[in-house]
Amino acid sequence: MINIKEAFPNHFPPSHRQETKSHSSTPPSWSLYLLKSRISLLGSRFSHLGSCFLSLGSIRPLLISLFLLLAPKVAFTQTPATPVGAILPLSVGDKFDYPVLEHALYSESGRLDLAKYRGKLVILDFWATWCAGCVASFPKNNELLKTYKDRLALVAVTYEPKEKIVPYLEKLKAKKGWELSMDFVAANSSLAEIFPHQSLPHYVWIAPDGKVAAITVGSSVNGENIDKLLAEGDISLKVKQDNNLRLNKAELFLTRNEQYGKKPILHQSALTSFIDRLSTEYVLEEPSEAGIGRILTVNQSLATLCLTAFGEGDNKKYFGGSRLILDVREPELIIPGPHHSGELYEEWLKSNAYCYELLYPQQHEPARYTYMQEDLKRFFPQYIFEVETREMEVWKIILTDPKGGFEAKSDQALRFEFTGQGGIIQNIMLNGLVGYLNMYFMHDSAYPVVDATGISVPVTLELDANMTDPDEVAASLRTYGLDMVRSRMPIEVLVIRDK
C-alpha cells in the first residue's frame, strides 16, 4: 500500500510540472483550476470580479485570477498575414538584435542595453514570482555568473510590474541571504513576443556570435553545457517545446456530427487518451443559458481525474497527495514516479494522461460529480475507488484567542494576494487560505492542512512568512490568535485499489 507523499515526495502534481507551468494556468496548473470549483466555500461566485490571471499579460494577484483562469483561446486554420512592423518570433539559429530593455531594476537609467553583452553568452531567464522552480534556480544561476564572470550574462525577465518585483526580491535577499547578481527586467512583453512561450521557466541562450543557440528548460542551464557552448561556439540541446494548440472553450471539446446539424446535447460524457500539443487544463462551467453545464479536464493523470471527481468541489474533500493512497501493483499508471521529470514526464503523459468531458442538464447539477465518479468506475474497471476515514497526521489550524483580530470588516474589499514569501487574505473565509496551502504552497507536505478553528465568519490576515515553511506560517498565524500545529485526527482519504 502506497501513500503518495511517501512514495513520490517531490513528484505529485503540480510540483513535477514546475518546469512547464503554463502561462495559461497557474501555479501547479491543475491545483489552481480545482480552486475554481471551490468558489462556494468563500460564500460568493466571484464571477463578476474580472480576470487578472495568466496569459502572458498578468498572472496574480490571486483569487480573482484563480477563479476565472484562462481567457478563451482561438485556433487559426490559416496563418494570418504578418502586419508591417510586427515582431517576428526567433528560433534556434536566428540572429538576435540585442534590444534596449526598459524597466531594468537596480539601474540608474532604468534601462538595460543588451548590446553591451555582445561577445558573451547571454541567457534570458523568463520567470515570475509565482513560479517556485524559477525562483529556486536563482542561487544556482548566481553561482554560474560567479564561475564564468566576464563570459556570461544572465538576464531575468518577467512581465510582472516593478512595484511587485522589487519588494519581492528584497524580501528574498533579506530572508534567505541570497546574492542576486543577474540583471532583472520587469514589466516586459517585447522579449516574450520575440521568444513566445506558454510555460515557465523558459531559457533562451544567445551565443557570443549573436545567434540564438538554444531554447531550453531549466535543467539544461548548467556548467557542462555552458562550457561546451563557450568552447565550440555552438551547442545542440533539446529545444523546449511549448504546447501550441489553444483550446477554444466556446466549443464542445469533442466534435459533433455536422451531417445532422448542431443538435443540442442534453447529457454526454466521454474519455479520450492524451492529445498532443494541448496543455493540461481544467474547465468547470456552470449551466449556461441553454441549461447545460460542463466539466472538462485535458491531458490529466488518472489521479487528477479522481481528485476532481471525488473532491466534489468541496475544499474540505481536497484529496491531494497526502490524502491519496494507492493500493495497486502499478502506481505509475495512475501517477508519475519520482524519476518522471522533464522529457520523461512528457513521455509519461503521452501514455497515461486522459481527456474527459461531461455535459449535464441544469437539474442534474447536484449530481455532476457523482456522474463523473460513476464514469471513472466504468472507464477504469480494473480499480476500486473508495473514500475512507482514517486517523492521519495533519497540520491543524486552531483558534487560540477568539479576540485575536482576525475577523474581517464588512466593508473590506475581497482580496487574496500571495507570493511564496507571504501575502494577504481579506474578507474571505479561512478555508480559502487552507485550500490554497494544500493545493499550492504545501502540496508537497506529507501532512494535509485542516481548518479546526470553527471560525464561521470571513477573516482578514496579512502573513509575512515563507508559505512553504509550516513553522513560519504558524508563527505568522499566531499574531492573529491562531496557530498551526501537528496533530492526529480522523480525515477522509481517497483509496484506489486493484480489483
Cell readout for 390 is 482514517
Domain total in the chain = 2
- The C-alpha atoms of residue 399 and residue 430 are separated, in whole angstroms, by 12
Mean pLDDT of 297-306: 95
Q: What pLDDT score was predicted for residue 350?
A: 94
Which run of H or of E encompasses 34? helix 29-36
17 three-state secondary structure: helix
Does residue 429 lie in a domain region? Answer: yes
The answer on 251 and 164 residing in a single domain is no
Q: Which residue has the higher pLDDT, 21 or 58?
A: 21
Final residue of a structural domain among 171, 202, 232 = 232
Percent of the chain with pLDDT over 90: 60
Question: What amino acid occupies position 66?
Answer: L
Q: Which of 58-72, 76-90, 159-173 has the lowest mean pLDDT?
A: 58-72
Based on the domain organization, do 323 and 413 belong to the same domain? yes
Alpha carbons within 13 angstroms on the beta-carbon side of residue 496 total 31
Contact assessment for residue 483 and residue 477, using Cβ atoms and an 8 Å cutoff: yes
Q: What is the mean pLDDT of the chain?
A: 82
Residue 269 — pLDDT band, cuts 50, 70, 90? Answer: very high
Query: Does 240 map to a domain?
Result: no
Measured from the Cβ of residue 257, the count of other Cβ atoms closer than 10 Å reads: 8
Inform me whether the pLDDT recorded for 440 exceeds 70: yes
Residue 261 confidence class, pLDDT cut points 50, 70, 90? low
Q: Residue 6 — very low, low, confident or very high, per pLDDT cuts 50/70/90?
A: very low
Query: 144 pLDDT exceeds 50?
Result: yes
Specify if 313 maps to a domain.
yes
pLDDT at 248: 73
Q: How far apart are CA 179 and CA 172, in angstroms?
A: 9
Residue 23 lies in a domain: no
Domain endpoint, select from 232, 264, 282: 232
CB burial class (10 A; 0-12, 13-18, 19+) of residue 382? exposed
Q: Supply the pLDDT for residue 193.
A: 93
Pick from 54-68, 231-245, 252-266, 327-341 the range whose average pLDDT is largest. 327-341
CA nearest neighbour of 46 among 30, 62, 23, 24: 62
Instruction: Check whether residue 138 and residue 222 sit in a common domain.
Output: yes
The reply to whether 353 and 412 lie within a common domain is: yes
Is 479 a member of any domain? yes
Residue 66 lies in a domain: no
CATH number of the domain to which 144 belongs: 3.40.30.10
The pLDDT of residue 133 is: 84
pLDDT at 315: 72
- CA–CA distances in Å: residue 300 to residues 14, 69, 336: 11, 17, 11
How big, in percent rounded to 5, are the helix, strand and coil portions of the chain?
A: 30, 25, 45
What residue type is 198 in one-letter code? Q
312: left (phi over 0), alpha (psi -120 to 50) or beta: left
Banded model confidence at residue 13, pLDDT cuts 50, 70, 90: very low
Residue 47 in domain:
no
Same domain, 269 and 219: no
Q: Taking each helix axis from N to C terminus, what angle separates 223-232 and 138-148, rounded to the nearest 10 degrees? A: 40
Amino acid at site 288: S
Closest CA to 98 of 174, 189, 208: 208
On whether both 256 and 212 belong to a single domain, the answer is no
Closest CA to 428 of 47, 129, 64, 31: 64
pLDDT score at 374: 98
Q: Is residue 119 part of a domain?
A: yes
SS3 96: coil
Domain match, 412 and 391 both: yes
User: Does residue 379 register a pLDDT over 60?
Assistant: yes
Specify whether 309 is located in the same domain as 421.
yes
CB 383 within 8 A of CB 328: yes
- Tell whether 303 and 382 lie within a shared domain: yes
Are residue 223 and residue 364 in the same domain, yes or no? no
Q: What is the pLDDT of residue 52?
A: 29
Whether the CB-CB separation of 334 and 302 falls below 8 Å is answered with yes
Provide the domain limits for residue 326: 1-15+245-499
Same structural domain for residues 210 and 270?
no
Stretch 128-148: mean pLDDT: 92
Q: What is the pLDDT confidence band of residue 252, given thresholds at 50, 70 and 90?
A: confident
| Residue with cell string 553583452 | 117
| 338 prior amide bond cis, ω within 30 | no
Q: Are residues 186 and 305 in the same domain?
A: no
Across residues 286-305, what is the average pLDDT?
92
Last residue of a domain, one of 205, 232, 259: 232
